């Protein structure tokens, strides 16, 4: 079985631009979560989707949004990028439906905002 | 809200020795406690997890213990090997549903 696939692997953007990150979960997994990882703040929850519904959103500004498609693939979008958005964005999928148990992570998208 | 504290931030042990990493959580309603290992350039990988109705769980050289009264849980790695070098994270379910709250991570260094 293929693992969680995130594209692109690296992104360089400038302030004010917007970006879209993609995540393909493990086949059969319907729950997809997104986390932001930075050296200073560690792993911070962004949002979780299950069957195209956002079930929870973390404490991030409205510039951060996401969606999930009928095939469980998910995208997240960040508009009006700021320097502080530079981070590793991780996607995780789970078969349990809880959004917290048995998470399988992708390798992440490293976003650099200049 | 839920808070998870993890110690130490860095742990250096001799190859073959044991390593112990400890986490403390704040929400007494938490009922699931995973440990993840993150290697350079990769996402975190689940290595072991425990539910609140169990006090200890083992998987080969790795074990997790849970003390619900004290609200802490620990990762134990025995007979450490060079491939154990990585950053280890503990986590617990957040106050809101469907999210994990993470510890700050422990960088484990195995000295040859």
CA distance A11 to A84: 14
Torsion, CA A19, CA A31, CA B65, CA B40, rounded to 10: -30
- Asked whether the bond before A8 is cis by omega within 30 degrees of 0, the reply is yes
Q: What is the DSSP letter of A82?
A: -
Nearest CB neighbour to B98, from listed A4, A98, A107: A98
- Asked if pLDDT for residue B97 goes beyond 70, the answer is yes
Report the gap between the CA of B45 and the closest CA in chain A (Å): 7
- pLDDT, residue B95, reads 67
Q: What percent of chain B has pLDDT over 70?
A: 97
Number of neighbours of residue A74 by Cβ within 10 angstroms:
25
Q: Is the dihedral of CA A68, A71, A73, A78 positive or negative?
A: negative
CA distance B4 to B22: 10
Q: What are phi and psi of B82, to 5 degrees?
A: -55, -35
**Which positions in chain A touch B41 (Cβ < 8 Å)?**
107
What average pLDDT does the structure give for chain B? Answer: 94
Residues in Cβ contact with A100 at an 8 Å cutoff, skipping those fewer than 6 apart: A94, B32, B34, B91, B93, B98, B99, B100
Q: What is the pLDDT of residues B11-42, one digit of tens each?
A: 999 999 999 999 999 988 889 999 999 999 99
**Which positions in chain B touch A102 (Cβ < 8 Å)?**
46, 49
Nearest CA in chain A to B42: A107
Nearest CA in chain B to A97: B98
pLDDT category at A96 given cuts 50, 70, 90 is confident
B37 within 8 A of B44, measured Cβ to Cβ: yes
Q: What is the pLDDT of residues A15-51, one digit of tens each?
A: 999 999 999 999 999 999 999 999 988 999 999 999 9
pLDDT category at B94 given cuts 50, 70, 90 is confident
What average pLDDT does the structure give for chain A? Answer: 95
**Which positions in chain A touch B23 (Cβ < 8 Å)?**
none
Nearest CB neighbour to A105, from listed B44, B97, B104: B44
- Asked if pLDDT for residue A69 goes beyond 80, the answer is yes
Report the gap between the CA of B6 and the closest CA in chain A (Å): 12
Quick check: A55 contacting B, CB < 8 Å? yes
């Amino acid at each position: 079985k293929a693992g969680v696939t995130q594209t692109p692997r690296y992104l360089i953007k400038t302030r004010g631009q917007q970006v879209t990150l993609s995540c393909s979960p493990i086949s059969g997994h319907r729950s997809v979560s997104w986390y932001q990882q930075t050296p200073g703040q560690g792993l911070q929850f962004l949002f979780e989707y299950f069957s195209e519904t956002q079930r929870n959103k973390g404490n991030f500004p409205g510039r951060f949004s996401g969606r999930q498609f009928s095939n469980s693939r998910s995208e997240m979008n960040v508009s009006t990028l700021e320097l502080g958005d530079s981070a590793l964005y991780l996607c995780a999928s789970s078969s349990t439906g809880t959004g917290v148990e048995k998470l399988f992570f992708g390798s992440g998208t490293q976003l650099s905002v200049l | 809200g839920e808070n998870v504290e993890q110690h130490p931030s860095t742990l250096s042990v001799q190859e073959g020795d044991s390593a112990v990493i400890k986490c403390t959580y704040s929400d007494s309603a938490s009922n699931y406690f995973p440990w993840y290992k993150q290697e350079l350039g990769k996402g975190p990988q689940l290595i072991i997890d425990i539910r609140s109705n169990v006090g200890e769980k083992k998987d080969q050289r790795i074990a997790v213990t849970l003390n619900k009264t004290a609200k802490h849980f620990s990762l134990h790695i025995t007979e450490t090997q060079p491939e154990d070098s990585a950053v280890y994270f503990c986590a617990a379910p957040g106050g809101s549903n469907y999210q994990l709250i993470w510890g700050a991570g422990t960088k484990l260094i195995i000295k040859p």
